[in-house]
Structure 1
């Protein structure tokens, strides 16, 4: 489960923001998670509470918010954009495999709320 390592990295980054901005308490952290990012949202929530209690004085009561970015693929053959999860690599419009992911693989810290 690499989600624990991901959460540790988020905590480290948020702690740096706390230092740079003289924040003493973080109430929430909002993450953007791509639909095909390989990070499992449920596991993030499972490890969040434990990790922030153990690794961060500033974040011990913080809430995790996850916003999903849908996976969208682009077909180079016909120009169609379509849902990656539903259709995969093959374009549902023309049947071409000349496609690439436009979005949906992201993992970003979108917002940190604190005082």
Structure 2
């Protein structure tokens, strides 16, 4: 994964993508990426995974599609697992992003 300067196209940082499937959103200097079992926040200034991240998804749940970012929250639809209920993940207290919150919900 590469972070480019939009003004001149220079590479600001690079990070091995690992199992991350897609970039979900960018807020308060953090890029939130979705993997098969977790959400990961990457500090754009450092090019490293933010302290306290990644956030694990609920057991037996997988992202079912891309979510959306709105009103300070990232909503990620999940499928799988025996339970069909809403579950929440909150950002780690050590996170520098004040507006990043992951609230997955199960698709029905």
- TM-score past 0.5 threshold: no
Whichever structure has more helix as a proportion of its residues is 1
Tell me which interval the TM-score lies in, with the shorter structure as reference length. under 0.3
Task: Determine which structure has more spread, i.e. the larger CA radius of gyration.
Answer: 1
TM-score norm. by structure 2 comes to 0.27
